[in-house]
Chain A
Amino acid sequence: MVTVKLKPLGEILESLSGFERVFIVGCQLGSARCRNGGLREAYRVAGYLELKGFKIVGVKSPGGTCVLDRLDHSARSLLNEIREAADVVLSLACGAGTQLIAENLPIPVKTGVTTLFIGAEREGRYFEEYCIACGDCVISNTGGICPVARCPKSLVNGPCGGAIAGKCEVDPNLPCIWFKIAQRMEQIGELKKLRKSVPPKDYSLSVYPRKLVLEE
């Protein structure tokens, strides 16, 4: 999922200064899952803004703010609802969702979150970056564990010389992912595959903005 982090309320307040009627949009995908921008957080922010004198004209959190059909369905258009009632939108969706709202509305759209990363969740509260969307996935060769995303240097030919006692030189609280990869490859009987040199990565595949177009 895409994880987000709610901005400090003071910062949100500042970005809305000068506006009166605020429509708050969350997202029930990543933002809700990591409890920083779902419906619950949207209501919490709404309560705070009301106390500060804003008129909250709506609080909604579609299941996928980054899907235009969900924002602008012919039967019930959230965008129309916003357009009629608000003079500013506060979005708690990820960067994609927030931009989609902004490019389809004539009024200002402010973000109440910062988009962090594509991550995995454990125990409902630990979120860790697992993928950097490099466009050239290598994990079939590394035991299903990504060294591109989970090694700060994105090393693909094995660990660096800073991997001491299982720890990453960049952050001693971070285990070196190559220890995990070695363990996993051993477990599945593929350790020897790591002996082969890996050529340079094709970074042209991650030049943004990227597109995916489905065949009709």
Chain B
Amino acid sequence: MTFRDKVLKGKFVITAEVAPPRGTEWESVVEPLKPLKGKVDAFNVTDCQRSMVRMAPLPMAKLLKDSGYDPVLQLTCRDRNRIALQSELLGAYALGVENVCLMTGDFTTLGDQPDAKPVFDLDSVQLIELASRLNSGKLLNGKELKGKVDLFIGAVYNPFAGPEPLQVWKLEKKIKVGARFIQTQPIYDVKLAKEVSSLIYSLGAVPIIGLLPIKSLKMANFMKKLNPTSVPDSLVKGLETAEDPASYGWEFVLDVARACLEFSGGIHFMLVGKVRELADFIDYLKNHRDYSVKF
């Protein structure tokens, strides 16, 4: 069953993030994913994340697909105007890349080429609406398209961002104009993951909770700096006292993952380093008598 089918049928999905290479050596990105084949439902291909140049996400998504993985093409508004975004999405569908996750994108000056011209012709809501428009057989200007487009559209949500209620309203707008699944920023708190899941369900989309394994205290502090309320004190304390912080951080995230099976539509692993461990964890979930029914 494809990622799309699973989401639509209410099955629990597991996605993971893949960053295209800074260069052309795509094999070195795809090769390590082997243990996850048939286990992770789809791989999000990032779009020059943190505004640093990498291989374009569409060719990388196509290469992944040809290698037997279901990709989710991430597309941002940072580098492309509405003309480029429409043509990119048409190209994606023609290449068999059907899943897309659409977002505004990080700002240019945060990356390693801060002198670049930022675009932001559209915002995330307008980009999602544009993709829905393509699905209805029309361009943004109303002109008819030749051939069918049937993109499976997703979006993102950061529960730690403000102000209220504008973030929730923006999420609502995204879902109203066509987002079917929502991938969140990393969440380490089960209670919050549950609240976010029910919010997204109530607005009419499927929640996929973001999980980012913390490897060290240093990384936790870095995350805290970016997003002060996102890393709970209990996690920081545990990392401080753990003999092996990396495995503590990993287990912490797996606990959240197990909890998500009870109330969410899926989980999204960002920054997958422990490929073998993740494969084992997915096997464990799928064979567990309490969880197997969810898949």
Binary interface profile of A, 173-198, with partner B (CB < 8 Å = 1, else 0)?
00010110011000000010011011
A-chain residues with CB within 8 Å of residue B82 when the two chains form the complex: 200
Query: Of B123, B140, B176, B185, which contacts A155 at CB under 8 A?
Result: B123
Query: Of B163, B166, B177, B228, which contacts A197 at CB under 8 A?
Result: B177
Cβ of B227 within 8 Å of any chain A Cβ, yes or no, is yes
B-chain residues with CB within 8 Å of residue A152 when the two chains form the complex: 107, 109, 118
Q: Tell me the residues in window 142-156 of chain A with beta carbons closer than 8 Å to chain B beta carbons.
A: 152-156
Query: Of A165, A182, A200, A201, which contacts B166 at CB under 8 A?
Result: A182
Cβ of A205 within 8 Å of any chain B Cβ, yes or no, is no
Tier of interface size on chain B = 35 or more
Asked, given contacts A153-B120, A155-B123, A159-B167, whether A200 binds B140 with beta carbons under 8 Å apart, the answer is yes
Closest to B129 in A: A197
Q: Is A162 a contact partner of B176 (Cβ separation < 8 A)?
A: no
Binary interface profile of B, 116-141, with partner A (CB < 8 Å = 1, else 0)?
00101111111001100000000010
Q: Is A159 a contact partner of B109 (Cβ separation < 8 A)?
A: no
B-chain residues with CB within 8 Å of residue A80 when the two chains form the complex: none
Closest to B156 in A: A161
Q: Is B125 a contact partner of A170 (Cβ separation < 8 A)?
A: no
Query: Of B121, B158, B173, which contacts A161 at CB under 8 A?
Result: B158
Q: How far is the CA of A25 from the CA of B163 in the complex (A)?
A: 47
Q: Is B228 a contact partner of A165 (Cβ separation < 8 A)?
A: yes
Describe A's contact surface by its main secondary structure: loop
Q: How far is the CA of A158 from the CA of B164 in the complex (A)?
A: 10
Cβ of B8 within 8 Å of any chain A Cβ, yes or no, is no
Tier of interface size on chain A = 20 to 34
Asked, given contacts A158-B173, A161-B161, whether A170 binds B166 with beta carbons under 8 Å apart, the answer is no
Asked, given contacts A157-B170, A170-B107, A195-B172, whether A179 binds B162 with beta carbons under 8 Å apart, the answer is yes
Q: How far is the CA of A194 from the CA of B77 in the complex (A)?
A: 21
Cβ of A166 within 8 Å of any chain B Cβ, yes or no, is yes
**Nearest-Cβ distance from residue A174 to partner chain B, whole angstroms:** 11
Cβ of A57 within 8 Å of any chain B Cβ, yes or no, is no
Cβ of B160 within 8 Å of any chain A Cβ, yes or no, is yes
Binary interface profile of B, 216-232, with partner A (CB < 8 Å = 1, else 0)?
00000000001111000
Asked, given contacts A152-B107, A166-B162, whether A203 binds B121 with beta carbons under 8 Å apart, the answer is yes
Interface residues of A (CB under 8 A from B): 152-166, 169-170, 176, 178-179, 182-183, 191, 194-195, 197-201, 203
Interface residues of B (CB under 8 A from A): 77, 82, 103-104, 106-107, 109-110, 118, 120-126, 129-130, 140, 156-158, 160-167, 169-170, 172-173, 176-177, 185, 226-229
Known: A153-B107, A176-B162, A197-B129. 10 other contacts (CB 8 A): A155-B104, A155-B120, A157-B125, A159-B161, A169-B107, A170-B109, A176-B163, A199-B126, A200-B126, A200-B130
